[in-house]
Chain A
């Protein structure tokens, strides 16, 4: 990608983070940490990678995205709003009674959401079904599923991984947002998940490990995934939970907590400053 594209992606990612903070703050609840760690990848998917059209969100030939780590929907909603699926005003009513934007993604009511998700481990299975449907139809759309690292403790993830490789779903790209933290502590303290790369490899995946905040690495990995034939790809994206908001970075406590008014002010100032620097 050229410098201009890179700059645009960085700006968009910053805006997605801004929406994330705004949504969670107004909701007085939600999951900022994992949304911020996933923001760069989600931004890249919607603004560079995927063949999608906000004017035609149900296009049968579109690429699909399943946010299997559904609690990080503030970042997804930010990207969808920025892309034009719905007015950005909706973000402020996230999690409110009667709001379109639910606490976890709801495909029935939110344009651009391809699968309802949030119960961990389930989204990747649905993504497998979508990829299988593409194969069945001889259609060439691709399916992207983003999982949390903690989510990979769910047995269903590995049922799905076995299924994806067995059915040679090379149109499926799994992205693990490996931020290293989950509710009860660090992933390494809570459960014996690692090594995750060799786990996916032994299940039959092509595995690519990247820095999930480096757009060039994200691009290279997703491009490489498209060249892999006969098997699915897993991108292990090493990320920083809470990325972009200094006091949230690498802090377990910001997994599922909204900032108070003072914290909100600091977070917004930081993100606005980042955006301003990019625009300068």
Chain B
């Protein structure tokens, strides 16, 4: 059942969640790199101007400043586009935040191809790969408004570095806020099934959900897992799915190299080898175009996924 029909981008959910959390936690501060209006930290800036620091277009320094703040007991959330927060500032994240395991939360907005018209330079399909290689880094990729709200809170409550992926595109909320619980590292089973398991993450979870529902009506009984935590990934849920369904398909708005798909492959290869097919961005750059058009072009919308999953399971 659809809990909410109004569409909202997870970047906005992020900005709203920060404001809510900040009420009770004065140690939360927010940093941005001249993208507050885009990452939606401007919501926080408006509510807490004294706790917001614009670092200008200097992401490397922003991450270092966040590390220094964290070393003095603050809980900084540093936001930029995923491309710059994890790509340009990778080494600052690795050495100034990851190595000392400082309590810094990094938010990467405009992740994936659904950035849309801005094109390849801003469509980061490598952020999950980059962040999951850093020891001790928690990597979260929430799928809708309610999950993002819960993820921001969980990220705050976790003492250590966290990367949170935010999307630009307004999307439907499919989780039921009444019954939804979020635990870092714990996959959510959206639908049980025995023929195969689809493991999806982030913005494309809802697309996968629709595809799996449509296939159910065609007689295919597919399990669907929402893997909101890329690291530490829910190993038990993957092994269970491999054992019980014998076939796994991963879906991510990210390069098939280094993201969810490979993380799942590593678990199955080492524990319970079953065929795994990775659906995602096929080691290519994106390009300009409307977000939904790109999603369809890359085969990551519900119709594309339905077609592809049908072919895979033939």
Closest to A115 in B: B71
Alpha-carbon distance between A123 and B53 when the two chains are bound, in angstroms: 19
Given contacts A125-B64, A156-B60, A156-B61, contact A116 B69 (CB under 8 A): no
Smallest Cβ distance from B219 to chain A, in angstroms?
Answer: 55
Number of interface residues of B (CB under 8 A): 29
Q: What is the 8 Å Cβ interface bit string for chain B, positions 51-73, against chain A (1 contact, 0 not)?
A: 10101101011111111111111
Assess whether B92 is interfacial by the CB under 8 Å rule: yes
Measured between beta carbons, the chain A residues less than 8 angstroms from B72 are 60, 64, 129-130, 133-134, 137
Assess whether A258 is interfacial by the CB under 8 Å rule: no
Assess whether A22 is interfacial by the CB under 8 Å rule: no
Closest to B101 in A: A108
Assess whether A174 is interfacial by the CB under 8 Å rule: no
Closest to A139 in B: B72
Which A residues between 110 and 137 are near B, CB-CB below 8 angstroms? Answer: 114-116, 118-119, 121-134, 136-137
Q: Is the interface of B mostly helix, strand, loop or mixed?
A: helix
Assess whether B49 is interfacial by the CB under 8 Å rule: no
Assess whether A160 is interfacial by the CB under 8 Å rule: yes
Asked if A126 and B68 make an inter-chain contact with CB atoms under 8 angstroms apart, the answer reads yes
Which B residues between 45 and 101 are near A, CB-CB below 8 angstroms? Answer: 51, 53, 55-56, 58, 60-74, 76, 91-92, 95-96, 99-101
Assess whether A107 is interfacial by the CB under 8 Å rule: yes
Given contacts A122-B95, A125-B92, A156-B61, contact A163 B68 (CB under 8 A): no
Asked if B64 and A132 make an inter-chain contact with CB atoms under 8 angstroms apart, the answer reads no
Asked if A126 and B95 make an inter-chain contact with CB atoms under 8 angstroms apart, the answer reads no
Smallest Cβ distance from A124 to chain B, in angstroms?
Answer: 7
Alpha-carbon distance between A159 and B33 when the two chains are bound, in angstroms: 11
Asked if B69 and A124 make an inter-chain contact with CB atoms under 8 angstroms apart, the answer reads no
Measured between beta carbons, the chain B residues less than 8 angstroms from A60 are 72-73
- Give the interface size bracket for A toward B: 35 or more
Measured between beta carbons, the chain B residues less than 8 angstroms from A121 are 60
Assess whether B211 is interfacial by the CB under 8 Å rule: no
Given contacts A119-B95, A129-B70, A133-B69, contact A124 B64 (CB under 8 A): yes
Assess whether A209 is interfacial by the CB under 8 Å rule: no
Assess whether A274 is interfacial by the CB under 8 Å rule: no
Smallest Cβ distance from B68 to chain A, in angstroms?
Answer: 2
Asked if A156 and B73 make an inter-chain contact with CB atoms under 8 angstroms apart, the answer reads no
Asked if B73 and A133 make an inter-chain contact with CB atoms under 8 angstroms apart, the answer reads yes
Alpha-carbon distance between A64 and B71 when the two chains are bound, in angstroms: 10
The one of B56, B71, B73 that contacts A163, using a Cβ cutoff of 8 Å: B56
Asked if B64 and A122 make an inter-chain contact with CB atoms under 8 angstroms apart, the answer reads yes
Assess whether A167 is interfacial by the CB under 8 Å rule: yes
Alpha-carbon distance between A163 and B57 when the two chains are bound, in angstroms: 11
Asked if B58 and A115 make an inter-chain contact with CB atoms under 8 angstroms apart, the answer reads no
The one of B53, B63, B73, B100 that contacts A125, using a Cβ cutoff of 8 Å: B63
Alpha-carbon distance between A67 and B96 when the two chains are bound, in angstroms: 13
Alpha-carbon distance between A130 and B51 when the two chains are bound, in angstroms: 14
Asked if A125 and B71 make an inter-chain contact with CB atoms under 8 angstroms apart, the answer reads no
Closest to A124 in B: B64
Give 5 CB contacts A-B under 8 Å: A108-B100, A125-B65, A126-B67, A133-B69, A163-B55
Interfacial residues, chain B to chain A (CB-CB below 8 A):
29, 51, 53, 55-56, 58, 60-74, 76, 91-92, 95-96, 99-101
Instruction: List the 4 shortest-distance A-B pairs measured between CB atoms, nearest first.
Output: A129-B68, A125-B64, A133-B72, A159-B61
